[in-house]
Structure 1
Amino acid sequence: MDGTCKDGIIRCEVEGRQVLGFDTGLPPQAFVKARLGNLLNSEGLIVDSTVHPWKPEGTVEHQGHILLYGKNFTGESLEVLLSRGDDTSLLALQWYIKALKHIAEFDSRFFDTISFFPAGVLIHRDGTVFFAPAVLAKRFYEYQDPEYYISKVLRWLHPDKTGINAAVFTAACITYTLVTGCAPFSISRSSELERAQRILNQDIRDGFYKPASLLKPRIDLELTDLLDSILEPVKGKTNRDLEDFIRILGEPGKKKLTDLFNASEAANISTTLLQREFKKRERSIKIQRFFRIYRYVMLAGLGSALALALILWNILEGQKDRPTTKGMTPPEVVKTYYNAFNTLDHQWMEACVQKGVSKGDIEAVINLFVISKVREAYERKATVIDPETWNAEGAKPTDVTIFGITDLSLKVLTPIPIMPVEGEYCSIEATYTFYYPESKMADSIPSESQTIQNQIPSTPKQEIRKDILTLIWSKKSWKITAIDRTLINPQSDIP
């Protein structure tokens, strides 16, 4: 015996020869009743310079469980090799990625049937790589221990990607782990398993992780750019493939782990700037999650799909009379943009900016506008007021949502051209207090037992913001082309 049931992949002796087995987690009677004979049709791969199929040959009872076994393969798991954190780990990763490339060239459809997460991969000292059948490797961890399944399998796999894209994502997760010492996506240990899995999948979809350069500032810039372009959806517009990994990590044995770090680049990296950028992204993701969850909870709770459709129809109808900033000065454009927070007028916000600018602000206003109209139709009263009105009425506790800004102050930073020409710029600084709903729903999905009243925020959060706005003269009007935002008093719960 050369392994244990806890390993999942087991080496044992059958009829005088060594074989590789997979624990089904079922005793003989249960295995027969479950009718799992189709597992014998699953297929793994052995990859050296070519690709060879590996198939189960039969079943055998081992320590009270049924094993599916096949041809023996000698090697250590990629998970164990990575844990060493040395040149051996890098060599294993280089062999692993090289094998993935061979599979992609042979038939990329195999990526949907094999295990390429670390615990499901074995690597021989000569560089030959074994990829277990996904259905067998996943089954053991899922039935042995659901928490084990999350950490051994799910944290390495993108819930939506398939084929070569799934393999590239997993390769990025493994590379990140090797160079930083921790996995990119953490697991919530304090949550029940179903919720922990849901949060993990949400983090992966949103790209909610700390950039490798923040944890290891000396990491090679080309490598951290590769990882960010794959792990962060916003940056992942450029297609990256396995060849990019081979180019940066090197062919097997050609680079050492220290070659992935560059001391000369460390001086050019500001850890403070990296931390600030991460906090901005973290805050943006949490606010987006709040509005995403809040919107669907309201719609489900009120049963108002028809009302929502009518509201959206009104919004689309209103596109015919879109506002314009023609004739406005830059300060007037900026003031109009911020006033639209209080009136929930996304059309004026869109009129004040160039396409694609301030997408997060505009989406927040649209979401809250839709939610407020649905609630008003149901509750027959105003459900959102701006903070200026709320303060004027004594800032009393209320079940109405407080959203918007107060104390707007503008400062012209660069001269404003009297007779502007196409493409000319100017800059304005805006300082103000932003009010937004406080809710515990940013990190979790409320249960059905929670009431609508408990889900509606009652106390606004406040933060003082300073924005540097760049405006451009384009098509005979001033438009905001960039907003650089700084939080003067960032909140602790939404950084």
Structure 2
Amino acid sequence: MDSLEASPIAGILVEGAECLAVDTGLTPAAFAQAKLARYVVESAALVDPSLRIEERRAEGVVERDGRMLVRFPPFSGERLDLLVARCPSGGALGEAGARAVAALGRWMAALSRLRSLTEAAVGRASDLPLPAAAIAADDGSMLFLPAVLALRAMEGRGAEARFDGVDKWIQPDLSGEAGDAFTAAALAYRILCGVDPFGGKDADAVRADMRDGCVLPASLVRPDLDEEIADLLDACLVPAETAAAGNRVPRRTLAARPSLARISEGFAAAEARGFYRELSPSAHEAARAAKDKFSRTRGDTVRTRRFMRRNSTVIAVIAISVLGVALFTASMIRDRAGRPTTKGMVPIEVVRTYYDAFGKFDHEMMAACVTGKAGKNDIDAATNLFVISRVRQAYENKDAYISAGEWIAAGSPVFDGSVFGVDALRVDSVDDDPSDGAVSFTARYDLWRPGEQPDRSGAANATAPAAPAPVRERREDSLVLSLRSGAWRISSMERKLLE
């Protein structure tokens, strides 16, 4: 086992007796100030080759070289993360790889056994899977140190020690069995593929890669790797939703993340078959080409996903703005589609339609017949009378206005309301050649409108006045019609009163 100089977890002699020491990296004063004496009551779990569990309690603390160490009963072995780190980078596993394979297999079996027990039996079960907290002995035993204590020991040796022993193996968003399976797959990937699954240089970069499933498929890193174990590793390290979103793993057959037990079984079966198989040179070349293509595609996908995540607020605001503009535009289009139009009308029909709309208070049709400022006063008058007629109708519950055409057709009777509209319309063409995009007409007509109400404010015994008699105006309008957007519209109007 390593010395304290090489590892914060090591076997030492205290007063001539062997013990397993965990270096907290704290001075006695800092240890007391941080109230870390609770570490002394933490228990380790020893799992022997037959999966029998024995509790190992801390035996106290001791100061060594100005640092506080927590003592446990003696245990000889190697930390799991260090065994995995010593595996060769590619090629045959060799002796170091074989030791790591054996240790990982025992770790998965022991962890599954511990997970099957209650938390009261082994402490906090969620703390179990830290690789730096697991020590593998040559006889097949596995010691699980308290994770909080192992984490303190790694932090005491600096960020790099914590990164190598903890952060590069633990997915922070996963817990329980899902977290166990992820860590087991990450360790197996390093052993069998010869490289770390997530290539970030610090904890933040690795966590981002873990969340995004940013990992090269095991089948591309080691094309000769057993297909079943490659599928298991890829299914653990790349979530199904990430694979479906574009970071799809080749040859993947598993839709859901496999359990720790499933990985343990597959790992043992692949070991029995042999982790690697013979491949032809052409198969290796095809795998290299697939790896290059996958790396390029994955890079684009991950960059896009991270850009979306970093700028989610801005993108949401832009999306809402675009949606608002789209809805506003659609509303305008619907509104315009529902408005009257003169498309399809010949010029004289536009003129007659304009004057017919007076008596109907159809200010929208009147507006459709003109362009620019032509007819503005007429449209304002029709609009005002339309509003007033609706208000009076609501309060008096009777028709307050009648069109001039209806009133004259009925014999011009006495009407307890007002008359408005055009009668005796005559339209004469002045210039009917449309080749220059304009034609002109003269329109003569009678405009009937409400008369002025006499002032009776000073009269004694004043009674409610009757409706004023309608007034007729004889008018002549000189009109110019222009072709605008495929529709003839009145663009100029000059008016004079004939009497």
Question: 2:224 & 2:325 partners in 1: Cα distance?
Answer: 49
Question: 1:315 & 1:165 partners in 2: Cα distance?
Answer: 44
- Is 2:128 aligned against 1:114? yes
Contact 2:171 2:179 in 1 (8 A): yes
Q: Secondary structure at the match of 2:25?
A: coil
Residue number among 195, 198, 220 corresponding to 1:182 in the alignment: 195
- Is 2:160 aligned against 1:147? yes
Residue number among 130, 143, 147 corresponding to 1:130 in the alignment: 143
The 5 A counterparts of 1:297-316 are 298=314, 311=321, 314=324
The 5 A counterparts of 1:5-404 are 5-48=5-48, 49-82=51-84, 83-84=86-87, 85=93, 86-107=97-118, 110-117=124-131, 119-188=132-201, 196-233=202-239, 234-235=242-243, 237-250=255-268, 255=271, 259-263=274-278, 270-271=286-287, 272-296=289-313, 298=314, 311=321, 314=324
Q: Which runs of 5+ in 1 are unaligned?
A: 189-195, 300-304, 322-495
The 5 A counterparts of 1:417-428 are none
Contact 2:26 2:156 in 1 (8 A): no
The TM-score with structure 2 as length reference comes to: 0.55
Task: Name the aligned partner's letter for residue 309 of structure 2.
Answer: R
Contact 1:46 1:54 in 2 (8 A): yes
Partner of 2:422: none
Greater CA radius of gyration, 1 or 2?
2
Cα distance change of structure 1 residues 13 and 127 upon mapping to structure 2, 3 Å threshold: same
Question: 2:108 & 2:130 partners in 1: Cα distance?
Answer: 10
How far residue 184 of structure 1 moved from its aligned partner, in angstroms, is: 0.4
Cα distance change of structure 1 residues 128 and 290 upon mapping to structure 2, 3 Å threshold: same
Question: 1:315 & 1:162 partners in 2: Cα distance?
Answer: 44
How far residue 160 of structure 1 moved from its aligned partner, in angstroms, is: 0.9
Q: Secondary structure at the match of 1:273?
A: helix
Contact 1:111 1:167 in 2 (8 A): no
Cα distance change of structure 1 residues 214 and 315 upon mapping to structure 2, 3 Å threshold: farther
How far residue 198 of structure 1 moved from its aligned partner, in angstroms, is: 2.0
Cα distance change of structure 1 residues 308 and 110 upon mapping to structure 2, 3 Å threshold: same
Q: Secondary structure at the match of 1:177?
A: helix
Instruction: Tell me whether 68-77 or 269-278 shows the greater mean CA deviation.
Output: 269-278
Task: Name the aligned partner's letter for residue 8 of structure 1.
Answer: P
Question: 1:61 & 1:232 partners in 2: Cα distance?
Answer: 45
How far residue 310 of structure 1 moved from its aligned partner, in angstroms, is: 5.9
Q: Secondary structure at the match of 2:256?
A: coil
Partner of 1:341: none
How far residue 157 of structure 1 moved from its aligned partner, in angstroms, is: 0.4
How far residue 143 of structure 1 moved from its aligned partner, in angstroms, is: 2.7
Question: 1:316 & 1:50 partners in 2: Cα distance?
Answer: 67
Contact 2:111 2:129 in 1 (8 A): no
Question: 2:281 & 2:183 partners in 1: Cα distance?
Answer: 27
Contact 2:218 2:230 in 1 (8 A): yes
Question: 1:91 & 1:8 partners in 2: Cα distance?
Answer: 23
How far residue 210 of structure 1 moved from its aligned partner, in angstroms, is: 1.4
How far residue 15 of structure 1 moved from its aligned partner, in angstroms, is: 4.3
- Greater RCO, CA 8 A, separation 6+: 1
Cα distance change of structure 1 residues 280 and 30 upon mapping to structure 2, 3 Å threshold: same
Cα distance change of structure 1 residues 310 and 56 upon mapping to structure 2, 3 Å threshold: same
Contact 2:62 2:70 in 1 (8 A): yes
Question: 2:267 & 2:281 partners in 1: Cα distance?
Answer: 19
How far residue 21 of structure 1 moved from its aligned partner, in angstroms, is: 1.2
Cα distance change of structure 1 residues 182 and 315 upon mapping to structure 2, 3 Å threshold: farther
How far residue 158 of structure 1 moved from its aligned partner, in angstroms, is: 0.4
How far residue 177 of structure 1 moved from its aligned partner, in angstroms, is: 0.3
Question: 2:229 & 2:271 partners in 1: Cα distance?
Answer: 13
Question: 2:39 & 2:64 partners in 1: Cα distance?
Answer: 17
Task: Name the aligned partner's letter for residue 162 of structure 2.
Answer: Y
- Root-mean-square deviation over aligned CA pairs: 3.1
Instruction: Tell me whether 154-163 or 270-279 shows the greater mean CA deviation.
Output: 270-279
How far residue 169 of structure 1 moved from its aligned partner, in angstroms, is: 0.6
Percent identity for Structure 1 against Structure 2: 27
How far residue 148 of structure 1 moved from its aligned partner, in angstroms, is: 2.3
Cα distance change of structure 1 residues 158 and 287 upon mapping to structure 2, 3 Å threshold: same
Contact 1:44 1:114 in 2 (8 A): no
Question: 2:280 & 2:184 partners in 1: Cα distance?
Answer: 24
Question: 2:40 & 2:255 partners in 1: Cα distance?
Answer: 40
Contact 2:111 2:128 in 1 (8 A): no
The TM-score with structure 1 as length reference comes to: 0.55
Question: 2:9 & 2:36 partners in 1: Cα distance?
Answer: 18
Question: 1:33 & 1:47 partners in 2: Cα distance?
Answer: 34
Cα distance change of structure 1 residues 138 and 265 upon mapping to structure 2, 3 Å threshold: farther
Task: Name the aligned partner's letter for residue 97 of structure 1.
Answer: M
How far residue 315 of structure 1 moved from its aligned partner, in angstroms, is: 9.7
Question: Deviation string for 1:132-161 (max 9, x for gaps)?
Answer: 211111112213211221222101100111
Question: 1:221 & 1:267 partners in 2: Cα distance?
Answer: 18
How far residue 311 of structure 1 moved from its aligned partner, in angstroms, is: 4.6
How far residue 121 of structure 1 moved from its aligned partner, in angstroms, is: 1.6
Question: Deviation string for 1:385-417 (max 9, x for gaps)?
Answer: xxxxxxxxxxxxxxxxxxxxxxxxxxxxxxxxx
Q: Secondary structure at the match of 1:122?
A: strand
Question: Deviation string for 1:294-321 (max 9, x for gaps)?
Answer: 334x48xxxxx9x679659859989x99
Report how many residues are paired.
302
Question: 1:152 & 1:169 partners in 2: Cα distance?
Answer: 15
Task: Name the aligned partner's letter for residue 229 of structure 1.
Answer: A
